Structure 1
Amino acid sequence: MLKFEDKRNFWVSNQVYLKPEYLSHPYISGNKYRKLKYNLIEAKKTGKDTLLTFGGAYSNHIAAVAAVGREFEFKTIGIIRGEELALKIGSNPTLKFAQSCGMTLKFISREKYAHKTGDTYISELKNEFGDFYLIPEGGTNTLAIKGCEEILTDIDKEYDYICCSVGTGGTISGLINSTCQHQKILGFPALKGDFLSEEITKFVTNENWELIADYHFGGYGKVSDSLIEFINNFKKVHNIPLDPIYTGKMMYGIYDLIDKGYFPKNSKILAIHTGGLQGIEGMNQRLKQQNKPLIV
Structure 2
Amino acid sequence: MNAFDLSRLRPRLPSPLEPVEDERFARRGLTLLLKREDLIHPDLPGNKWRKLALNLEAAAGRPVLTFGGAYSNHLRATAAAGRLLGFPTVGVVRGDELAGRPLNPSLARCAADGMRLEFVDRATYRAKNDPAVLAALLDRAHAGAYVVPEGGSNALAARGCAELGRELAGAADAVAVACGTGGTLAGLAAGLAPGQRALGFPVLRGDFLGGEVRALQEAAFGGPRGDWSLDGRFHDGGYARVSPALEAFTRDFEERHELAIERLYVAKMLHGLVTLAEEGAFPPGTRIAAVVTGAPDGVQPSVSSR
TM-score by length of 2: 0.86
1:171-182 pair list within 5 angstroms: 171-182=184-195
TM superposition outliers: structure 1 runs of 4+ over 6 Å: none
Aligned partner of 1:23 in structure 2 is 39
In structure 2, do the counterparts of structure 1 residues 135 and 43 end up closer, same or farther at CA, with 3 Å as the change threshold?
Answer: same
CA contact (8 A) 1:80 1:106 kept: yes
1:266 maps to a residue whose letter is G
Instruction: Please list every run of 5 or more consecutive structure 2 residues that lacks an aligned counterpart in the other structure.
Output: 1-5, 218-223, 300-306
CA distance in 1, matches of 2:162, 2:147: 21
Contact 2:33 2:290 survives alignment (8 Å): yes
**Aligned twin of 1:213:** 232
Q: Is the 8 A contact 1:161 1:269 kept in 2?
A: yes
Residues 197-256 of structure 1, C-alpha deviations (whole Å, 9 max, x = no match): 011112331351110111011111111111111212222221222211111000011011
What stretches of structure 1 of length at least 5 have no aligned partner? 281-296
| Of 147, 160, 165, the match for 1:152 | 165
* Residue 191, structure 1, aligned to residue 198, structure 2: no
Note closer, same or farther for the CA distance 1:276–1:167 as it changes in structure 2 (3 Å cut).
Answer: farther
Change (3 A) 1:279 1:61: farther
Matched residue, 1:143: 156
User: What root-mean-square deviation, in Å, do the aligned CA atoms of Structure 1 and Structure 2 show?
Assistant: 1.6
1:270 corresponds, among 286, 289, 292, to 289
**Matches of 1:186 and 1:10 in 2, distance apart?**
19
* 3-state SS in 2 of match to 1:87: coil
Secondary structure at the residue paired with 1:199?
Answer: helix
Same amino acid, percent of matched pairs: 38
The superposition leaves residues 23-43 of structure 1 with CA deviations (integer Å, 9 ceiling, x where unpaired) of 111121000000000111111
Instruction: Report matched runs for 1:82-231 at 5 Å.
Output: 82-90=95-103, 92-129=104-141, 130-153=143-166, 156-204=169-217, 205-206=224-225, 208-231=227-250
Q: Kindly tell me: are residues 154 and 166 of structure 1, through their superposed partners in 2, closer, same or farther at Cα, counting changes over 3 Å?
A: closer
| Residue 11 (structure 1) aligned with residue 19 (structure 2) | yes
CA offset digits 1:17-75 (Å, max 9, x no partner): 1100001111210000000001111111xxx5211000001000010000000000010
Once structures 1 and 2 are overlaid, which stretch shifts more, 77-86 or 6-15?
A: 6-15
User: CA, structure 1 residues 161+279, in 2 after alignment: closer, same or farther (shift >3 Å)?
Assistant: farther
Alpha-carbon distance between aligned partners in 2 of 1:154 and 1:127, rounded to the nearest angstrom: 41
Q: Post-superposition shift, 1:122?
A: 1.4
Change (3 A) 1:155 1:82: closer
Contact 2:178 2:202 in 1 (8 A): yes
1:276 deviates by 5.5
Query: 1:4 is matched by which residue type in structure 2?
Result: P
| 1:203–1:49 Cα change, 3 Å | closer
Structure 1: how far apart are the matches of 2:39 and 2:110?
20
SS of the aligned residue for 1:26 comes to: coil
Deviation of 1:11 (Å): 1.6
